[in-house]
Amino acid sequence: MALTLSITPADALIDVPRHIRVDHAQPGQTVEITALTRRKGVLWQSQAAFVADAHGTVDLSRDAPASGDYAGVAPMGLIWSQSPVDSPSREQFNLPVAEPLVTDVVARAGGAQAQASFIQRLACEGVTRQDVREEGLVGTLYLPPGAGPGTHPAVMILNGSGGGINEPRAALYASRGYAAFALAYFKAPGLSDYISNTPLEYFQTGLRWLRKKVQPKHDFVAISGQSRGGELVLLLGATFPEEVSAVVAYVPGAVVHSGQNACDPKIGREGPTWLLGGKPIPHVWENNRTATWAPFDEGPAPHRHEKAILTALQDPDAVARARIKVEDIQGPVIMLSGTDDGSWPSSLYSKMVKDKLAEVKHPYPVQWLDYENGGHSILFPYVPTTQHVYAHPVSGKISTSGGTPKDNARADQESWEGVLKFLDAAVRARAA
């Protein structure tokens, strides 16, 4: 019989794993499998070679490759090990994000060849998208199928130091049953190009607008943010506790930071990031006796921003002044971090938050998922994890977010599963 390649399911949301299997090779034959995906116009590729079993079968959920772009048993290794072909691109999704990703898979054994494709979607059928340009807000609202007043809990999604609108995560949240508002606060139409001097009241307006717009089920509005957004969601939960039902903090900071690499050059990277009542919120670089950028600026490329942050944390008085008062949060908290975070010490920061909440006997659930050898880029399942060396989107400095592709892929998968369980439990607790 001819060589066959099967992929199931062939069409599903991006967070659904696929079963990839080759049949009718010769027993013991080498089977080479290539995966090709076009992402925002750029071709990404991976390749691995397998040895067929006694029945002439290769099953990626069972078999490790003999060679190739990943090692060990990994059912979706052909996706997370992809790299862009002749391009420095880090863009993993299409525009618009509702346009699905199509991966073509080719299996070759001897002179025989078999092909199949599968589709990964961020937005399931029935999800709707709406640009938001109201009350000074700049963002995008994604609603689940059958959305109406009081039918779905809500989540507001905030990006990190790259700025912009996090539509991919919002689309996937909506596909999983949440009214999802991706709110930009810089590097988006009509907003500043920089993070410096961002008023927290802007996010309070966003929370109130979202409640008014979707009338969320059980009045539940969570906030989800990554990196500087992870710092921000903890800060918002502490500053506006009555308005935040739950906090999802990806690779967060436990202290307030200065503008850093996303700063307005006129203000400088040691200038303030957040304002409240028109006044800067104290940050860890202020009057800091130990802080220096030298380990980041002068170290070898790719630079590790985390090395400079660690110098700032050696001044206990500066840390105390800048610490986010997480004990003021009135809801459950989940943190997701990596032990090899190259951008800042998200594991240490998450431990600081967890320890403080334990100390004050926080009356709501607190979870911390910490990934060994994981880096700063924790996203969601089944996307490429190879591009952790990059030019910062604002400063342009060549840096590493840390981690290994395999460990980052594990963090992507397990963190998303953990967040969905956390939010489901938080909504049920709110209802009760």
Residues 242 and 363 in one domain: yes
Residues 158 and 301 in one domain: yes
Question: Quick check: helix, strand or coil at residue 261?
Answer: helix
In angstroms, the first-to-last Cα distance of the chain is 59
Verify whether residue 376 is a known catalytic residue: yes
| Residue partners of 91: CB distance under 8 A and separation at least 6 | 39, 40, 42
Residues 223 and 92 in one domain: no
Residue 385 structural domain: 147-431
119 membership: H or E segment, kind and range: strand 112-121
Q: Of 71, 161, 212, 85, which Cα lies nearest the Cα of 393?
A: 161
| Residue partners of 41: CB distance under 8 A and separation at least 6 | none
Residue 142 is assigned to a structural domain of this protein: no
CATH number of the domain where residue 405 is located: 3.40.50.1820
Distance of CA 402 to the CA centre of its chain: 14
Residues 93 and 206 in one domain: no
How far is 62 from 3, CA to CA, in rounded Å? Answer: 19
Q: Could you read off the pLDDT of 133-185 as tens digits, one per residue?
A: 999 999 999 999 997 899 999 999 999 999 999 999 999 999 999 999 999 99
Point out the catalytic residue in the list 376, 377, 399, 412.
376
b or e along 237-258 (b: 16 or more beta carbons within 10 Å of the residue's beta carbon)? Answer: bbbbeebbbbbbbbbbbbbbbb
What is the predicted pLDDT for the residue at 395?
67
Percent of the chain clearing pLDDT 90 (strictly above): 94
Residue 129 is assigned to a structural domain of this protein: no
Point out the catalytic residue in the list 15, 341, 407, 412.
341
Residues 178 and 246 in one domain: yes
Residue 126 is assigned to a structural domain of this protein: no
HSE value, Cβ hemisphere, 13 Å, CA-based, for 307: 15
> Would you give the DSSP letter of residue 209?
H
Q: What is the amino acid identity at position 19?
A: H
Residues 229 and 108 in one domain: no
CATH number of the domain where residue 73 is located: 2.60.40.2240
Task: Assign residue 185 a region (left: φ > 0; alpha: ψ between -120 and 50; beta: otherwise).
Answer: alpha
Point out the catalytic residue in the list 161, 196, 227, 343.
227
Residue 134 is assigned to a structural domain of this protein: no
Q: Could you read off the pLDDT of 187-239 as tens digits, one per residue?
A: 999 999 999 999 999 999 999 999 999 999 999 999 999 999 999 999 999 99
Q: Could you read off the pLDDT of 73-86 as tens digits, one per residue?
A: 999 999 999 999 99
Residues 343 and 305 in one domain: yes
Verify whether residue 63 is a known catalytic residue: no
What is the predicted pLDDT for the residue at 179?
98
Phi and psi, residue 87, nearest 5°: -160, 145
Q: Taken in order 221, 227, 228, 234, is the CA torsion positive or negative? A: positive
Residue 329: pLDDT over 90: yes
Residues 90 and 162 in one domain: no
What is the predicted pLDDT for the residue at 361?
98
Residue 121: pLDDT over 80: yes
Q: What is the mean pLDDT of residues 357-370?
A: 98
Residue 77 is assigned to a structural domain of this protein: yes
The structural domain count of the chain equals 2
Q: What is the mean pLDDT of residues 105-115?
A: 97
Residue 369 is assigned to a structural domain of this protein: yes
What is the predicted pLDDT for the residue at 378?
97
Residue 262: pLDDT over 80: yes
Verify whether residue 55 is a known catalytic residue: no
Q: Could you read off the pLDDT of 34-76 as tens digits, one per residue?
A: 999 999 999 999 999 999 999 999 999 999 999 999 999 999 9
Percent of the chain clearing pLDDT 70 (strictly above): 99
What is the predicted pLDDT for the residue at 33?
98
How many angstroms separate the Cα of 393 from the Cα of each of 52, 112, 148, 196, 239? Answer: 44, 44, 37, 15, 29
Residues 86 and 180 in one domain: no
Phi and psi, residue 90, nearest 5°: -120, 10
Distance of CA 30 to the CA centre of its chain: 36
Answer for the pair 371, 410: CB distance below 8 angstroms, yes or no.
yes
pLDDT band at residue 301, thresholds of 50, 70 and 90? confident
pLDDT band at residue 398, thresholds of 50, 70 and 90? confident
Residues 251 and 116 in one domain: no
Average pLDDT of the chain to the nearest whole number: 96
Residue 141 is assigned to a structural domain of this protein: no
Residues 408 and 312 in one domain: yes
Residue 130 is assigned to a structural domain of this protein: no
11 membership: H or E segment, kind and range: strand 11-13
Residues 303 and 420 in one domain: yes
**pTM recorded for the entire structure:** 0.96
